[in-house]
A and B are shown apart, each in its own frame.
Chain A
Amino acid sequence: MKGEDQPPSRWTQQCWEPFVSEHPERMEAFQTSSGTPIDPLYCHDEDSPGPGEFPFTRGIHPSMYRGRLWTMRQYAGYSTPEETNQRFRFLLEQGQTGLSVAFDLPTQIGFDSDDPEAFGEVGRVGVPINTVDDLDQLLEGIPLESISISMTINSTAPLLLALLLALAKRRGVAADQIRGTLQNDILKEYIARGTQRFPVEPSMRLVVDVIEHCTKEAPSFYPISISGYHIREAGSTAIQEVAFTLANGIAYLDACRDRGLDLVSVGRRISFFFNAHNQLFEEIAKFRAARRMWAKICRERFHIEDDRACQLRFHTQTGGSTLQAKEPSNNIVRVTIQALSAILGGTQSLHTNSWDEALSLPGQEAARLALRTQQVLARESAVTDTIDPLGGAPFIEHLTDQIEDAAMAIICEIDERGGMLESIANGSIRRAIEQSSYEAQIARDSGAATPVGVEEEGEIPEAPFKVDPDIEQRRRQSLEKFRLQRDNSAVNAALLRVEKSATGSDNMIPVLIDAMEAGCTLGEVSRKLATVFGETQDHG
């Protein structure tokens, strides 16, 4: 591939050719607008590993986007299951290739829409899902076996998995056909995102229950998405984002190993989720460094010999905290730069934020523009036509090495202080994130790092989107109807089984699926779990 007169490289012969003969690239040949041929890979020396080869610095697949583009997966959800279903269908009609469900806070924390704790919060930042019927409405007309569904859900992840598997049964879809991702990353909730409900120990048990159940029963589903996104949003640096995320990953693999799970099956189904901020080269290097670090951690620390189980697959979302409320259309440019960094960093799926998200939830036009931004990058910019185009550039390689070294030093420090669970419990991770957040704010306030367009005297525009406050009433009515129609003795019996299972140590997922099929609601089951597990409290 290196021009007519050069022999094909080792990587080309051993990795690229065998892969491409089975998975053809998008085009027979790639070329620039002027007709110059584009090779799969540049700046590659014979001895070093290429894309698709351990430790995957240059990408996890041998052909990367020349073979298949990333999944365009816009996070959406608000109001009611019916309204969100319409937004989903709209996004699919516009060419989106996967779904990503935003749940409202009561659902994320385990309260039904009619719970007093949910007052004022129903349908605000996402969609309320309390029952199998709700999920059925949310996914009406959407085939579970062909559209992959990502769910941002953590403390109640086992319940949403149970609802999804119960719905699959109802629709006659086999569990092994379900594709998608459950976030199920509770550790970052305690340090950055704040939807934890139960204490760490039972929460970790539930995380592993989900992983164990999925690797056995729903092997096409990714049961965890270890997330740096929210750590970065909470104010961390790029290096801390990598370090804390991978340290959480280590804690989960430790827990899976302690359960006796096969780390090859687990490793193959772990996924990650990162942020993309404005500093293009640092972000690209961050993704490359994270990939290399995780591969080495899997191999050296967990002795996982299987290459695929050492791959860091990741979703990216552009940085919400970088969006500005003043002159908000400038955010379109920020999102484009951030999306480009994710693509040049080799992401497997991408959410691009809407320009209006510093004002409210996105309006439909803004949501379409966000998706269009990805499509322009995918179809018009041709940045997808060669693999890891910046690999080999001295600055990028230097930054990649430097991020790896600095993040690894943080992980070693966490190890020395007793591991991530201990560091989360003693508050040291939160304090580190908070310190970075404070330094960034000072830099911004002092003018050293002030975003463009915000120092002007100018009005903040009106928010384009508002959730109808009447939905709380409508949800109450529909839940009331649901509760009248179900068999309450079956519900009570199922709740007792949930309680019994929670006090034991068997995998809870089968019992949770039964409970959902019997007509229990998310809130009822969560309350039952809370009576056994206790609840966490944030004291500030």
Chain B
Amino acid sequence: MDRSGPIRVLLAKPGLDGHDRGIRLVLRALRDAGMEVIYTGLRATPAHIVKAAIEEDVEAIGLSSLSGAHETHFKEVSRLLEQEGATDVVLFGGGIIPQQDVDQLRSIGFEWIYPPGTTLDKIVSDLTSTLRPTSSRSGGE
């Protein structure tokens, strides 16, 4: 899939976790970088996240979890996306996610898992270089 125009991203907090400092920072950084970002707010269910992603025709979904429930919720989002045939949506995540879980999340389709300490620039540039490879090469001019 080759798109032009602003990158469309859905950010979501699955489960009951209330820690939203990180995801709100990412929200602001992606918007500042010119992307169109939808944020679900707290306590989004995986079903709601996938539905919103399809309706909003996003190219990427970012999930945040600091409550240890990432395995359950991230897996479910990935499963439902596959079920809906939306496998071209790029998945990424962040929060308190043990190293030992990162490989497993990669194997079910998570492109990047961002640990505490990740810079906002890194997230912006990962998304841009993956979703708009041509413009990022010539970007900034």
Q: How many residues of B contact A (CB 8 A)?
A: 32
Confirm or deny: B54 has a beta carbon within 8 angstroms of a beta carbon on chain A: no
Confirm or deny: A441 has a beta carbon within 8 angstroms of a beta carbon on chain B: yes
By size class, the interface of chain A is 35 or more
Confirm or deny: A383 has a beta carbon within 8 angstroms of a beta carbon on chain B: no
A534 neighbours in B (Cβ, 8 Å): none
> At the interface with chain A, which of B37-45, B78-86, B128-136?
B37-45
A358 neighbours in B (Cβ, 8 Å): 96, 116
B121 neighbours in A (Cβ, 8 Å): 445
B119 x A445 contact (CB < 8 A): yes
- A360-374 residues at the B interface, CB under 8 angstroms: 360-361
A105 x B120 contact (CB < 8 A): no
Task: Tell me, rounded to whole Å, the shortest Cβ–Cβ distance linking B72 to chain A.
Answer: 3
How many cross-chain pairs have Cβ atoms below 8 Å apart between A and B? 97
Inter-chain CA distance A389–B90, complex, in Å, is 56
A434 x B15 contact (CB < 8 A): no
Q: Is the interface of B mostly helix, strand, loop or mixed?
A: loop
- A108-135 residues at the B interface, CB under 8 angstroms: 108-109, 111, 117-121, 124-125
A120 x B25 contact (CB < 8 A): no
Confirm or deny: B98 has a beta carbon within 8 angstroms of a beta carbon on chain A: yes
Instruction: Please encode chain A, from 157 to 200, with 1 for each CB lying within 8 Å of some chain B CB and 0 for all others.
Output: 00000000000000000000000000000000100011100000
B68 x A438 contact (CB < 8 A): no
A437 x B99 contact (CB < 8 A): no
Task: Tell me, rounded to whole Å, the shortest Cβ–Cβ distance linking A494 to chain B.
Answer: 26
A538 x B67 contact (CB < 8 A): no
Task: Tell me, rounded to whole Å, the shortest Cβ–Cβ distance linking A321 to chain B.
Answer: 7
B100 x A124 contact (CB < 8 A): no
Confirm or deny: A476 has a beta carbon within 8 angstroms of a beta carbon on chain B: no
A539 x B41 contact (CB < 8 A): yes
B117 neighbours in A (Cβ, 8 Å): 324-326, 451, 454
Confirm or deny: B111 has a beta carbon within 8 angstroms of a beta carbon on chain A: no
Q: Which of B20, B21, B71 contacts A120 (CB 8 A)?
A: B71
Inter-chain CA distance A120–B72, complex, in Å, is 5
| 23 residue pairs bridging A and B, Cβ less than 8 Å apart | A105-B16, A106-B16, A109-B16, A111-B16, A117-B16, A119-B72, A120-B69, A120-B71, A121-B16, A124-B68, A193-B18, A325-B115, A326-B117, A358-B96, A359-B96, A438-B25, A438-B28, A454-B117, A462-B98, A469-B71, A540-B39, A540-B41, A540-B42
Give A contacts to B, CB under 8 Å.
105-106, 108-109, 111, 117-121, 124-125, 189, 193-195, 233-235, 321, 323-326, 358-361, 434, 437-438, 441, 444-445, 451, 454, 459-463, 466-467, 469, 537-540
Name the 3 nearest CB pairs between A and B, nearest first.
A194-B18, A120-B72, A463-B98
